[in-house]
Amino acid sequence: MAFLELDGVSKSFTVNGKTKPVLREINLSIEQGEFVAIVGFSGSGKTTLMSLMAGLILPDEGEVRLHGERVTGPSPNRGIVFQNYSLLPWLTVFENVKLAVDQVCRGWTTERKRERVLEYLKMVNLSPAAQKRPAQLSGGMRQRVSVARTLAMDPEVLLLDEPLGALDALTRATLQDEIERIWERDRKTCVLITNDLDEALLLADRIIPMTAGPGATLGPSFAVDAERPRDRRAIAKGAEFKHLRRELTEWLLTVARQQPTLPVSAPSSPQHPVVSGAAT
Amino acid sequence: MKIKATILNGLQLAGLGAFDPVVRLLSGENPSAQLPKIGQFILMPIGGFALFLAVWTIAASSIQTRYGSIPNPKAVWVAGSQLLAAHQKTTADRQQFYVDRDKQAKEYVEKAATLRTAAADPKNAALKDRLDEAAVKNDGLAASTMKRKYAGSPSYLDQIRTSLLTVFTGFVLASAIAIPVGILCGLSPVFMACVNPFIQIFKPVSPLAWLPIVMIVVGALYTTDPSEAWFEKSFISSAITVALCSLWPTLTNTALGVASIDKDYINVARVLQLSPSSRVFKIILPASLPLMFTGLRISLGVGWMVLIAAEMLAQNPGLGKFVWDMFQNGSSETLAQIMVAVFTIGGIGFLLDRIMIVCQRMVSFDSAVSA
Ligand SMILES: Nc1ncnc2c1ncn2[C@@H]1O[C@H](COP(=O)(O)OP(=O)(O)OP(=O)(O)O)[C@@H](O)[C@H]1O
Ligand SMILES: [Mg+2]
């Protein structure tokens, strides 16, 4: 039994009486402490997949399981960093994080809670901005507040929905290093959604491409065996990364676009085919 | 520099951004950038006002009414000063009245005391009963004197004070009803469906239609002895009418604010598993506060408009009654005094709106000013 499992999950949305399939036959199992990246086209249903794992929406078919228990709703043990930050604009940075701490650390003294908030703000290098409001922050800073809020809940699973999508390349690199550092520290199970293959290659143990919608599903897993921390230059130039990137791109551009008759990962076999393992 | 930034921020917050260039100019910023703005935002309005006064002066002399010609700006100004002078006189009169009254009452009390001492004296044993009787009579006189109230007509500023108090009471009453109901409407579509017909039907009702009903109901329910009551009946009727007419904008805006709350905020609340009460108080209320304040601002404006009509009809002392009285006793000053009232009503309405704008800016979390 894997730690986090999606078993034959399908989801469609009905808008104006028209039912539109978004995800179908999603099978995925993630081990404890694993870092999985999901890459896919915009609008293919990645956020929908995240919401399903978080329990914010429920699947039409199939089920999501954590520790073998069916997920029936959201909970702080599946911390999600929303694509659009979702900070509460009327609260300061400190209060935003405190809202999460108050909820998770019941029975703690005020002082201890305060320390925990400050600890997580420090972790994302935001201590000086603690008393600012989200509107006064840059996009990257907001993103880090959002990460701090989620980490402060001490979730078992960390769901990151394109956390760096809106950032420039330099800030992105800094935050990628931060995510890497934080993950190395706690080794939490982590699902990262991204549209940047290099980001996935840098951070993930396993990369899973997603087909284009409607009715998107997951492709085969591509394992990334390189040692950590990985070197950006190696990712840009290294032969094994180049190979992996080419395979992924190839898959996304050919197989993923063949709609709707695409090879669906067989619901019966939980083991995904591992196409390539890049060795360092 | 810090002071300048604070002043500029304050002006912005109070919606007085027009004076921004003046502050910048005084602090030595480039005049060529500020002068055109001063021209546009300060000189132009002043020019417009001057033009208005000129047209008024010319028009005034050419229109004859049964109270004489229409007063020109100067006559209105004079009427205003007279009202202020009358206020000072009334205030002095009133003070004198209460000083006299208290003095008189004190005399009665002292007399009663002397009579009692006399009655206690064994030498006056024969007269004891009559002395006691007289003492009790003096007690009664003291008490009834203390109950006497100044009966002179209220001055113009007293009328303004009553009006403000009435509109404030009505506004608070309206908010106390509209905000909770609005929140419930926003939270529950079922509740909204139940309440919506009432909102749609009662919202357009004129204050003139509400007032008679309110007066009759208040008359039936509010039976406290007038000499002991805290509020006059007319005051309560006016306040309730103001509330009835002004609660709708707050109600609908609050409902809209709560119902249209960003789904992302709700998702945050769900992931954190906030309890229903902290969901309302920590997420839903703060998120809908800006729209709620938009509603409150409209409500206060409506309330102030309704108030004048309500006061006229209910004969509640206030600006409305003032206008009505002036109209009734038609003298040569009638028109000028009514015009003073018009400017007062406009000015106060403007000030109330400014205050609400400041409140609104303070709760709106999107602007950096609020920090
Ligand atoms: N609540 C909803 N109601 C109706 N349709 C929805 C809803 N949520 C998502 N969709 C539809 O599902 C599809 C996938 O949306 P989703 O947000 O999951 O895409 P995404 O992969 O996250 O895109 P992006 O990379 O741009 O974030 C879209 O076509 C969208 O219109
Ligand atoms: Mg998305």
Q: Are A89 and B365 spatial neighbours (Cβ–Cβ below 8 Å)?
A: yes
One domain for residues B83 and B143:
yes
Same domain, B180 and B322: yes
Q: What whole-number distance in Å separates Cα of residue B124 and Cα of residue B134?
A: 14
- The model's confidence at residue B124, banded by pLDDT at 50, 70 and 90, is confident
Total domains, chain B: 3
Span from the CA of A166 to the centroid of ligand 1 (angstroms): 17
Residue A266 confidence (pLDDT): 42
Report the greatest alpha carbon distance in chain B. Answer: 99
What does the pLDDT read at residue B233? 83
B90, B118, B147 - which closes a domain: B147
Inform me whether the pLDDT recorded for A149 exceeds 80: yes
Q: What is the share, in percent, of chain B residues with pLDDT greater than 70?
A: 97
Q: Which of A14, A16, A44 to mutate to test the pocket of ligand 1 (most atoms within 8 A of CB)?
A: A44
Residue B278 belongs to domain with CATH number: 1.10.3720.10
Contacts of residues A263-269 at CB distance under 8 Å and 24 or more positions apart, as own/partner, are A264/A24, A264/A25, A264/A217, A265/A25, A265/A27, A265/A217, A265/A218, A265/A219, A265/A220, A266/A27, A267/A7, A267/A8, A267/A25, A267/A27
CA A178 centroid distance within chain: 15
* The pLDDT of residue A1 is above 80: no
Rounded average pLDDT over B258-273:
93
Please check whether residue B137 lies inside any domain of the structure: yes
Say yes or no to pLDDT of B370 above 70: no
Residues 46-105, chain A: which have Cβ within 8 Å of B?
A: 54, 56, 73-76, 78-80, 82, 84, 86, 88-91, 99-100, 103-104
Shortest Cα distance, chain A CAs vs residue B261, angstroms: 12
Tokens of B152: 């002179």
Identify whether residues B289 and B168 lie together within a single domain.
yes
Give this complex's ipTM: 0.85
Domain match, B112 and B169 both: no
Of the two residues B42 and A12, the one the predictor is more confident about is A12
pLDDT of residue A56: 95
Same domain, B33 and B167: no
Q: Mean pLDDT of all residues in chain A? A: 86
For residue A263, the model assigns a pLDDT of 46
Give B313's pLDDT tier (boundaries 50, 70, 90).
confident
pLDDT at A230 over 60: yes
Whole-angstrom Cα distance, residue B83 to residue B154? 11
The bridge status of strand A4-15 relative to strand A18-30 is antiparallel
Is B369 within a domain?
no
Segment (H or E) for B174 = helix B156-187
Q: Which of A108-112, A167-171, B52-56, B197-201 has the lowest mean pLDDT?
A: A167-171
B254 with B326, same domain: the answer is: yes
**φ and ψ at residue A61, rounded to 5 degrees:** -130, 160
Which residues of chain A are within 8 Å of residue B271 when distances are taken between CB atoms? 54, 56, 74-76, 78-80
Please check whether residues B58 and B102 belong to one and the same domain: no
Q: Closest-lying ligand to the alpha carbon of A49?
A: 1
- For the ranges A6-20, A198-212, A243-257, B267-281, the lowest mean pLDDT is seen at A243-257
Is residue B68 situated within a structural domain?
A: no
- B117 found inside a domain: yes
Name the domain boundary from B147, B173, B199.
Answer: B147
Same domain, B168 and B143: no
pLDDT (mean) for B296-310 = 92
- The Cα–Cα gap between A197 and A180 comes to 16
Tell me if the pTM is above 0.90.
no
Query: Residue A259: what pLDDT?
Result: 57
Whether B289 and B350 share a structural domain: yes
Residue A272: pLDDT band by 50, 70, 90 thresholds?
very low
pLDDT at res. A128 = 94
Q: Which of B273, B286, B368 sits opposite A103 (nearest CB)?
A: B273
A40-83 pLDDT tens trace: 888 889 999 999 999 999 999 999 999 999 999 999 999 999 98
DSSP chain A: --SEEEEEEEEEEEETTEEEEEEEEEEEEE-TT-EEEEE--TTSSHHHHHHHHHTSS--SEEEEEETTEEP-S--TTEEEE-TT----TTS-HHHHHHHHHHHHSTT--HHHHHHHHHHHHHHTT-GGGTTS-GGGS-HHHHHHHHHHHHHHT--SEEEEESTTTTS-HHHHHHHHHHHHHHHHHH--EEEEEES-HHHHHHH-SEEEEB--SSSB-B--EEEE---SSPPHHHHHH-HHHHHHHHHHHHHHHTGGGS-SS--PPPSS--SPPEEEEE--
Identify the pLDDT of residue B118: 85
On whether both B88 and B190 belong to a single domain, the answer is: no
pLDDT of B296 above 90: yes
Whether pLDDT at B105 is above 50: yes
Query: At residue B37, does pLDDT exceed 70?
Result: yes
Task: Say which of A75, A82, A132 has its CB closest to residue B264.
Answer: A82
Q: What percent of chain A has pLDDT over 70?
A: 92
A188 C-beta neighbours (distance < 10 Å), count:
18
Let me know whether B232 and B353 are in one domain.
Answer: yes
B132 and B89 together in one domain: yes
Residue B368 lies in a domain: no
Three-state DSSP class for residue B65: strand
Of the ranges B160-174, B264-278, B354-368, which one carries the lowest mean pLDDT score? Answer: B354-368
Of the three residues B123, B147, B171, the one that is the final residue of a domain is B147
Residue contact B287–A56, C-beta within 8 A: no
Ligand nearest to the CA of A195: 1
- Within-domain flag for B244: yes
> What is the crossing angle of helices B156-187 and B189-202, to 10°?
140
Query: Rounded mean pLDDT of chain B?
Result: 87
| 3-class SS of residue B153 | coil
Domain that holds residue B80: 73-147
Query: Helix H segments across B188-284?
Result: 189-202, 207-221, 233-259, 263-271, 276-278
